[in-house]
Amino acid sequence: MLLVQILVNGVLLGGLYGLMGLGMALVWGVLNVVNLAHGALIMLGGYLTYYLFTGLGIDPFVALPIAALGMFVIGYCLQRFILNLIVRSAMLNTLLITFGLSVVITYLAQLLFSADFRTINPTYSGANFAVAGITIPVVSLAAFVIAFVLAGAVWWLLNEMTIGRAIRATAQNLTAARLYGVDPRNIYALTFGIGAALAGVAGGLFGILTHLTPYVGATLTAKSFVIAIIGGLSNPFKVILGGIVIGVAEQLASLYLGPTYIDVISFGLLVVVLVVRPARSLRAA
Amino acid sequence: MNETVLSIRKLTAGYGGAPVLFDVDLEVRAGEIVALVGSNGAGKTTLLRAVSRVLRAEGGIAFNGEDILPLPPEKVFSRGLVQVPEGRQLFGAMTVEENLRMGAFRRTDKRTLKESFEHVYGLFPILEERRRGLAGNLSGGEQQMCAMGRALMAEPKLLLIDEMSLGLAPVIVDQLLDVLTDIRSRGVTVLLVEQDVFAAFSVADRGYVMETGRITREGPVSELGDDPAVREAYLGA
Ligand SMILES: Nc1ncnc2c1ncn2[C@@H]1O[C@H](COP(=O)(O)OP(=O)(O)OP(=O)(O)O)[C@@H](O)[C@H]1O
Ligand SMILES: [Mg+2]
């Protein structure tokens, strides 16, 4: 019974992990940029949701779309006015710039929000129900459902909408996209904005399920990176599955090896995945 | 004489400081098919890239009387100046239909989209058969048809076509040349870059010969085809 409970916890948490990986994978697939500031954006989204809740009294789940919108604007502007300058340069440059960005965002967060732990704590945060003896926390289930809905939304955007097709076109053949009326600078900014918005929602949910500090970014970037690799860059639902793999693995590790091994697990899996499917895992959208 | 659609004056362009084109003058008039021929590395593709504004250039490029040199590529495309690039450059991981849709990316009158699809599928029935298949899985000839179809979906006024016949069987080349004649009759003007000078001259009205970044000869294809130097260099006679 304990094992089943642990698996359920892992799956539910994994949905949120998948949502974290989704923004990372989207930006990576389209811009060919491994965004080392992704975790910092998740953290920022978390604080945004936190202050909308504690400062303005907005229910956190209502605050999520507002945080997403705010993060979209931040992401769009970051890409349009800073990152577009280096987007097509060597991978090393983009890694350095996004790493620098994560340092700056973390530092600013520490200044503005202090280093204290914060939890987004609505009245219903402890609510749960039981199915066949398995406890299911309501907020975890909500996070899981939101992750899937957003994966579906990203899928719809990319496959069924004109602008989404332009995003994929840019990822697949930049030369042809430019010749066929696509302005890559706009597409890149839009894509980065969507990545940041997804990070924002993930951050809000993360703040509801666990707790925020300005320093969570680095770990979450690493986790998102692993999940993007496991899930691939082309199908949003596979990224969510990648998140679930990590979530379950973490919970199992915590059960059998002890909670200290939780963070080791992601990187253990990363090594395994890179050895087993090196080329395939890095193919673009 | 028809009005000028594309007017290139003293155009200079290159890559990272290394000049490739030198003072190129070229003109395409409404309803014409103009052939641009020249050996490998002459700068034909470079010229088309400059005209589509994806490559920096100096000099004059006017499209329907408007100076397009300061315009970004998407604006040039919106004006109806559409390129079928060398090597087809399809969106390989998209379906044929999605590739065609990308051709219509900037179109605002989505109502007439269906007619455009019908037109393209009428010209290239194989594309309709393969419309749900990935463009990357098409044969070379089918890919060229898809690239042409994508361009036609943009409702071009001027088509720039780069190496349409490269690597294709003669029967496919003939089919594509027929399509060119057909779309010209519908009011589309064409600038055709070709290695296959014989094929290009069979449909073109006028031709230009480019050598190492300069236009060295120009005139009606009947005259160019009789020019001993051209015959020797490009027609193998
Ligand atoms: N991206 C590039 N960077 C640097 N030099 C280039 C680039 N593309 C082309 N060149 C050079 O510019 C010159 C002209 O090339 P271009 O592709 O325009 O020739 P072309 O006439 O189209 O040849 P082909 O018939 O082989 O297609 C060549 O010397 C080529 O090496
Ligand atoms: Mg060429």
pLDDT digits 0-9 by tens, A19-43: 999 999 999 999 999 999 999 999 9
Yes or no, beta carbons of A180 and B77 under 8 Å apart: yes
Nearest partner of B40 among B210, B218, B216, judged by Cα: B210
- Our CA dihedral for B205, B209, B214, B215, rounded to 10 degrees, sits at -40
Residue A281, pLDDT score: 47
Nearest partner of B61 among B11, B107, B108, judged by Cα: B11
Tell me the residues of chain B between 54 and 73 that have a Cβ less than 8 Å away from chain A.
54, 72-73
Give the Å distances, CA to CA, from A264 to A9, A213, A218, A227, A253.
Answer: 18, 20, 14, 14, 9
E-only strand ranges, A5-61: none
Which strands form B57-63's sheet, in the order they lie side by side? Answer: B18-29, B4-15, B57-63, B66-67
Residue A50, helix vs strand vs coil: helix
H or E segment and range at residue A179: helix A174-179
Task: Calculate mean pLDDT across residues A212-222.
Answer: 94
Ligand 2 centre to CA of B194 (Å) is 8
Residue B83, pLDDT score: 98
Residue A196, pLDDT score: 98
State what percent of residues in chain A have pLDDT above 90.
Answer: 76
User: Which residues of chain B carry a pLDDT beneath 70?
Assistant: 1, 235-237
Alpha-carbon distance of A226 to A34, in angstroms, equals 11
- Topology annotation, domain A2-282: ABC transporter involved in vitamin B12 uptake, BtuC (1.10.3470)
Find the CB nearest A176 among B74, B89, B93: B89
Predicted interface score ipTM higher than 0.85: yes
Reply yes or no on whether the pLDDT at A285 is more than 70: no
Residue A278, pLDDT score: 57
Residue B237, pLDDT score: 55
Residue B236, pLDDT score: 65
Domains of chain B: 1-80+158-166+188-237 (3.40.50.300), 87-155 (no CATH)
Per CB-CB distance under 8 Å, the chain B contacts of A175 are 54, 85, 89
Ligand 2 centre to CA of B236 (Å) is 20
Reply yes or no on whether the pLDDT at A242 is more than 80: yes
Give the Å distances, CA to CA, from A281 to A25, A244, A273, A276, B193.
Answer: 11, 17, 8, 9, 39
**Any alpha helices (H) in B52-134, and if so which ranges?**
73-78, 96-103, 113-123, 125-129
- Phi, psi at residue B54, to the nearest 5°? -95, 0
Q: Are B218 and B207 in contact (CB under 8 A)?
A: yes
Could you identify the residue written with the tokens 């990316």?
Answer: B105
Query: pLDDT of A93-146, one tens digit each?
Result: 999 999 999 999 999 999 999 889 999 999 998 888 988 889 999 999 999 999
Reply yes or no on whether the pLDDT at A284 is more than 50: no
More confident call, B228 vs A252: A252
